[in-house]
Structure 1
């Protein structure tokens, strides 16, 4: 309810500004000045007077799309009163209500007779009109794509190997935003298609200083509608990275894709690199392959490019042996079958699975022995002697749970209380204060999930950044619409494949069925293309017939 109340206030403010800056223009067009203040109807009249489709008015206040459409409608109105120069249009877009007000309150603003202008138009004016028509077509193509991107489905690329071999580096997915209910946009004024920032200013600069793709000052609260399902165990889920400190807007944080291995109320655990939920070993689906990290010692150098061609994904770090001759290779993401085949290579002296010892911290200070955790990057929570192979048991918080707060448990619930559920939190003199009140308990306000990569030894996941709140959930990947080997560089490997190639066998296949042989959606893609080009052909034919008549 807070979302819609806030949204209504924004709409009313914009409508008042619209009315104040255009009411005289509405009067000169033969309408009541009060109509300039009525949301949606004011733009309906503008479209009617400028001979554009009147149903476009419903787009005028939609999040993200609305500001684009408003600018277009404002330009139409200014053209109606003879403001057709480029500088007029630029001022209309940059300072809409200020510029329109100057026209509104000027004495010489009069409605232009478009029919007379068309009758006596010069070749230059006709050419300008053609350009305007072309720009209008491009604008509405962008608007249509934005509507799909914001309200239906969003494209997503896989840049890392954390989900190998289920999702490959270079897979491009379409994410269904309605899988777990639709999360309404929280930053309604934004540049279409950009996630968080417009550009990266460089590694030396502070990422927080990069120009944002959205207006952070205009915000709406988190709300999800039509939520008939919640993430289930084994779902592949796209979510916004919870501990992204660059962006305060939840829906503008970096998108991640992992498998939901434990839901609210479950207990998660890793034992020697094997995953357990509620004390039981994980269920491995048909499209998953159990993978592990191995250390391989060889007498001579391996032909890594040849192995890469055979096995595809093969993150590997190569270094000379510290003592004597030979080489040491650290492989990540090897299945039992591939590990057995690599072990059989003649140059291999020995090979063993690399499991971090129990009780050894996950990340350490570079200049100290392996005794102290680096609290800026280590395992979650930071006060536990866990690592990625020996982890937990950890209970996943559930909405309504009453948890105990003390100096031991605070690390586990700190982000939930202060960041995810938006309370003030203080820890002073051994006492904990939530919203200014001393307490030893806290009631969880939403469900949380454990999101882990299928390639467990090469995945930055919930073992490091902690629980994923329900409000961060974007949706479920539907299908892979394109797959390009070599599209992204893998920082975990010292070897990179040269060039790139299409993986035709992966295109338009479902991504979230759990089956080894996934359904192909080629026929849907072909049908969409036929309908698109067929519709365009018949529209052109219809327009040509009307022109001839």
Structure 2
């Protein structure tokens, strides 16, 4: 064997990857591929609360499409793969906010439509008290005061794409006017009844006190959550379809929506304006901002649009005497740069949504919920924990 042949074989052997190097390269490739799929195409999501029942249940595992509305280019690009905002073990930040890109979105298949089920970043999640489960830092401050909250908890800020992910139904799109009266929603003056998959509280009056509650269970009621008012009266969450079936039974005397009267004021509702006596069942009308829409700025409109103009669109806003200044210039109108949406949960009396924190800006939108690929009930044996009738179920 010549020295040239020996040198060639030695070079080939030296370039051959070790098993460790092969595994390392494979893992890097898998992480990059999975990250690209998660960021630009589809992402898994889990339902953590009952705010969308009975459309979506606690324990539903979803696929959320980034393609439908157009994938959002990462605004905080330096981040740990597969972690959202917090590292799972250390509890530290899973991203570095030293590099932040402005909001951009790739072309999508469609715009957000009314009644789409949408995943988005919590608008009031820009500031959080880490040790508290309350989703809104601002609610904590209103309840306990700024000094108490900031001394008791670790308070931090989060960029848009690292705010908490939540899921709701889009009730109104940009330019719509939404309102609710006696628990019935209207969009642009047209009544929009709650779909059969959504829940409202009903007052149920019985003709007899002694009944078999298995009937309620078979209809889909959560019997142990039914509130007894007196021997003949119960308050229970139900869909309109469940109520229609219940009314056919002889032992039912009457069934009616159990909503708050207009005279009751919920002080913690958007826009936190003492001049508006609104509650979860009676509010509005509210016009949802649209890109290019110009609003007149006055004492009536500013409570509604102040946060959108200042926080979401990044302007300096202040009042000097009776005049409003934006970026140190006196103004009496403002033209919006982004589209906004009104999101609400299907479980209307068990949902913290736009009624509490207002509009959802377009740069907060993550994607469209498409499919339930797995559903897991915490009750029962292993086999019965799987909700077989929900597997591979489309979301509408």
TM-score range, shorter chain: 0.7 to 0.9
Identify the match of residue 509 of structure 1 among 366, 390, 393.
393
CA apart distance, 1:428: 4.2
Give the greater-gyration-radius structure (CA).
1
Q: What SS does structure 1 have at the residue aligned with 2:349?
A: helix
Identify the match of residue 337 of structure 1 among 223, 239, 242.
242
Q: Which runs of 5+ in 2 are unaligned?
A: 1-6, 129-156
C-alpha deviations, 1:196-227, integer Å up to 9, x for none? 222498xxxxxxxx522111111111011214
CA distance in 2, matches of 1:137, 1:261: 44
Would the alpha carbon gap of residues 444 and 359 (structure 1) be closer, same or farther in structure 2, given more than 3 Å must change?
farther
Provide the residue aligned with 1:382 in structure 2. Answer: 272
CA distance in 1, matches of 2:51, 2:344: 9
Would the alpha carbon gap of residues 303 and 220 (structure 1) be closer, same or farther in structure 2, given more than 3 Å must change?
farther
Provide the residue aligned with 1:212 in structure 2. Answer: 93
CA apart distance, 1:234: 2.0
Provide the residue aligned with 2:222 in structure 1. Answer: 314
1:290-439 pair list within 5 angstroms: 291-295=199-203, 310-312=218-220, 314=222, 317=225, 330-338=235-243, 341=246, 352-362=256-266, 373=267, 378-383=268-273, 384-439=276-331
Provide the residue aligned with 1:442 in structure 2. Answer: 334
CA distance in 2, matches of 1:114, 1:307: 83
C-alpha deviations, 1:273-300, integer Å up to 9, x for none? 1111111112666xx4353202457898
1:216-255 pair list within 5 angstroms: 216-227=97-108, 229-244=110-125, 245-246=127-128, 247-255=157-165
Would the alpha carbon gap of residues 446 and 344 (structure 1) be closer, same or farther in structure 2, given more than 3 Å must change?
same
CA apart distance, 1:243: 1.1
Q: Which runs of 5+ in 1 are unaligned?
A: 1-112, 121-125, 202-209, 363-372, 487-496, 513-549
Do structure 1's residue 281 and structure 2's residue 185 form an aligned pair? no
* C-alpha contact (below 8 Å) 2:217/2:223 kept by paired residues: no
Provide the residue aligned with 2:140 in structure 1. Answer: none
CA distance in 2, matches of 1:147, 1:295: 50
C-alpha deviations, 1:76-118, integer Å up to 9, x for none? xxxxxxxxxxxxxxxxxxxxxxxxxxxxxxxxxxxxx997599
* C-alpha contact (below 8 Å) 1:315/1:332 kept by paired residues: no
Would the alpha carbon gap of residues 190 and 284 (structure 1) be closer, same or farther in structure 2, given more than 3 Å must change?
same
* C-alpha contact (below 8 Å) 1:156/1:173 kept by paired residues: yes
Provide the residue aligned with 1:260 in structure 2. Answer: 170
Would the alpha carbon gap of residues 418 and 344 (structure 1) be closer, same or farther in structure 2, given more than 3 Å must change?
same
CA distance in 1, matches of 2:85, 2:75: 13
Q: What SS does structure 2 have at the residue aligned with 1:150?
A: helix
* C-alpha contact (below 8 Å) 1:237/1:476 kept by paired residues: yes
CA apart distance, 1:431: 3.2
* C-alpha contact (below 8 Å) 1:333/1:457 kept by paired residues: no
Q: 1 or 2, which has the higher strand percentage? A: 2
CA apart distance, 1:420: 0.8
CA apart distance, 1:184: 0.4
Q: 1 or 2, which has the higher helix percentage? A: 1
Provide the residue aligned with 2:46 in structure 1. Answer: 157
Would the alpha carbon gap of residues 440 and 303 (structure 1) be closer, same or farther in structure 2, given more than 3 Å must change?
farther
* C-alpha contact (below 8 Å) 1:319/1:329 kept by paired residues: yes
1:476-495 pair list within 5 angstroms: 476-486=368-378
CA distance in 1, matches of 2:270, 2:121: 18
Would the alpha carbon gap of residues 498 and 233 (structure 1) be closer, same or farther in structure 2, given more than 3 Å must change?
same
CA apart distance, 1:506: 2.0
Aligned-residue CA RMSD (Å):
3.5
Would the alpha carbon gap of residues 212 and 295 (structure 1) be closer, same or farther in structure 2, given more than 3 Å must change?
farther
CA apart distance, 1:386: 0.9
Q: What SS does structure 2 have at the residue aligned with 1:243?
A: helix
CA apart distance, 1:399: 1.3
CA distance in 1, matches of 2:163, 2:299: 29
1:106-121 pair list within 5 angstroms: 116=10
CA distance in 1, matches of 2:262, 2:368: 34
CA apart distance, 1:242: 1.0
Provide the residue aligned with 2:4 in structure 1. Answer: none
Count of paired positions:
356
CA apart distance, 1:240: 1.3
Would the alpha carbon gap of residues 330 and 405 (structure 1) be closer, same or farther in structure 2, given more than 3 Å must change?
same
